[in-house]
Structure 1
Amino acid sequence: MTKNDRLAEYRRRRDAGRTPEPVPDEAPLPHGDDDTFVIQEHHARSLHWDLRLERGGVLVSWAVPKGVPSDPGENRLAVHTEDHPLEYAAFEGEIPAGEYGAGKSLLWDRGTYETEKWTDREVKVVFHGTRVQGRYVLFRTRGDNWMIHRMDPPADPDAVPPPEGLRPMLAQERKRLPKDEDAWAYEFAWGGRRLLARISGGRTRCTDAAGRPAEAPPGVGSALGGTLGVRTALLDGEVARVAGTEVYLIFDLLHLDGRPLLDVPYRERRERLDALGLDGARHRTAPWFPGGDDPGAAVLDAARREGLAAIVAKRLDSPYRPGKASADWRLLPAGQ
């Protein structure tokens, strides 16, 4: 090992015979233009994003647990890590279990950047990426802990965060199916506990029917965060036992990517929810059955066969009314 080998720590942590990551032999560092950056989405023990800036023949690297901020009102933690080889700018793959950083690494963004300032305590740059663009500063706080701050106006000035402490919409009890069946959709009533899930920066926080903090089934929060990544969302669903396993069944989408959806018709909210592909071992998107060809009676029959107590009819054009029992949602007994 030569003196001042900038990749010595990188090599020490990796076994070139086991990991697909590039592990170059000790040699003079390549020369670049110090203008390449890459952000990798790293599904390791904890989901995070790795920001890497080409500098002096290596990729100077920070792990950003919640991703690069898009709004100047939110500074985010960035943990300085070991320098990586320039070849890492093209790396995607699965780091094997037992190896340092085990998990899947995906290229999330890449492009060029301009340096406005670079010291041991402060780095100011301008990103020109596909997803990340604009002026940012990284500043050291203590040890390897830095913060990253967007210096430009918000990337999306109309974006708003998901609301806090929202109480779920409720259904009114009815005895019979609606007469205008084509105007409704039908879902199973699973008989579980209500849970709203707020996902932001790859992290999930849940609240119960009263808007109080609540726990999701094991693994659900990390799975939702891993699927949605840096996207923001507010989900409505319930925790119920399905085939003997506690599962979070998701049946509504109240906020997505900085846009409130409370006033969007139920049909469109459900279509957007389906498009997210939220289906895992302990969470899944609950089925829904739009009107036509007598679906209400068919869903009632299916609920009886499965031993469920009720179904829910929801108007296709209905908004979401937080904390209210609305006639736009109707709880119908399945009977026996």
Structure 2
Amino acid sequence: MIQEHHARSLHWDLRLERAGVLVSWAVPKGIPADPETDRLAVRTEDHPLEYAAFEGEIPKGEYGAGRMTIWDRGTYETEKWSEREVKVVLHGSRVTGRYALFRTKGENWMIHRMDPPADPDAEPIPDAVRPMLPERHARLPRDRAGYAFEFAWGGRRLAAYVEGGRARFTGGDGRAVGGPAGLGSRLGAALGARPAVLDGELAEVEGQETYLLFDLLYLDGRSLLDEPYRRRRELLDGLGLDGPRRHTSPWYPGEAEAVREAARAQGLSGILAKRLDSPYEPGTRSSAWRYLPFSTRR
């Protein structure tokens, strides 16, 4: 069985029943789905068999404090078991296939997938995606029903690349930058084992710097760049990523006037209009996205 453990840092606990106990490894970035990616697996103490059914909150002050859920469970076959190497075939609902665990130093092991990729069509998470930018326009689009309208927050562009419960960031030029303290771990915890690339900006909202998410470029091994804006936003909303100092920015199909009035009341500089059928065009200033400042006419 595999437990997702939201302790001080998110990790996954792989536990194999053997000789009346659960032999355990903590895997910080999750079980690899591709043989090209080996991951650290730290050998921990054996656990009693009763622990295989445990889900819940470990109280603060206790070892491993934090929320724990059962991420996968099933059966396994042993191909080899020694003090330095374990080879097994896992039969879970999420993880299946041949895996090797091999000791490197002390309690540090590595876990390696011996079979071909679990999803042969999965695309690797991109190293960097340059942001798509809006054109400045003086008027609202005539076909307002074909657009969604958003607030122009006026913040600093920040894309997040989340994988294995961790996140890294790129800025407005597509180059690596640091994110606000704790943001990466919080996004990693929110997404768990799901890899994703998120587009957004850091802006001040009600006196506090907040990461506002407004696009989803990659999810679960699939690029979404060619998907229409409407589909990307629906998928982003479905992730439920709102939390402390992060928020999924709202979008309003066809509601230009209401959004403009609300943005003006909040003291924002303008609004954005984004075509509902538009793909994401990296590094492009596209007419499919329009920035509409308040100083212009209707």
Q: Tell me the TM-score normalized by structure 2.
A: 0.98
- 1:322 is aligned, of 278, 282, 286, to 282
- 1:190 is aligned, of 153, 162, 177, to 153
What is the deviation of 1:281?
1.1
Distance in 2, Cα, partners of 1:82 & 1:300:
58
- 1:254 is aligned, of 198, 211, 217, to 217
State the one-letter code of the partner of 1:56.
A
State the match for 1:149 in structure 2.
112
Distance in 2, Cα, partners of 1:283 & 1:101:
26
% identical aligned pairs: 68
State the match for 1:75 in structure 2.
38
What is the deviation of 1:214?
1.5
What is the deviation of 1:215?
2.1
State the one-letter code of the partner of 1:43.
H
Asked if residue 161 in structure 1 is aligned to residue 121 in structure 2, the reply is no
Q: Deviations over 1:130-183 (max 9, x none)?
A: 111010000001110000000111000000122112110000000110001111
State the match for 2:99 in structure 1.
136
Asked if residue 305 in structure 1 is aligned to residue 270 in structure 2, the reply is no
State the match for 2:69 in structure 1.
106
Distance in 2, Cα, partners of 1:328 & 1:234:
21
- 2:198 is aligned, of 235, 244, 269, to 235
What is the deviation of 1:119?
0.2
What is the deviation of 1:334?
2.3
- Long gaps (5+) in structure 2: none
Q: Deviations over 1:206-234 (max 9, x none)?
A: 00011111222222211110011110100
Asked if residue 116 in structure 1 is aligned to residue 42 in structure 2, the reply is no
State the one-letter code of the partner of 1:274.
D
Secondary structure at 1:311 match in 2:
strand
What is the deviation of 1:40?
0.3
Contact 1:203 1:221 in 2 (8 A): yes
Secondary structure at 1:304 match in 2:
helix
Structure of greater relative contact order (alpha carbons < 8 Å, 6+ residues apart): 2
Q: Tell me the TM-score normalized by structure 1.
A: 0.87
Give the structure with higher Rg (CA). 1
State the match for 1:6 in structure 2.
none
Contact 1:58 1:86 in 2 (8 A): yes
Contact 1:217 1:247 in 2 (8 A): no
- For residues 206-217 of structure 1, what are the structure 2 equivalents within 5 Å? 206-217=169-180
Distance in 1, Cα, partners of 2:46 & 2:295:
65
State the match for 2:59 in structure 1.
96
**Paired residues, number:** 296
Distance in 2, Cα, partners of 1:118 & 1:176:
70
Distance in 1, Cα, partners of 2:245 & 2:185:
11
State the match for 2:10 in structure 1.
47
RMSD: 0.9
Distance in 1, Cα, partners of 2:40 & 2:169:
22
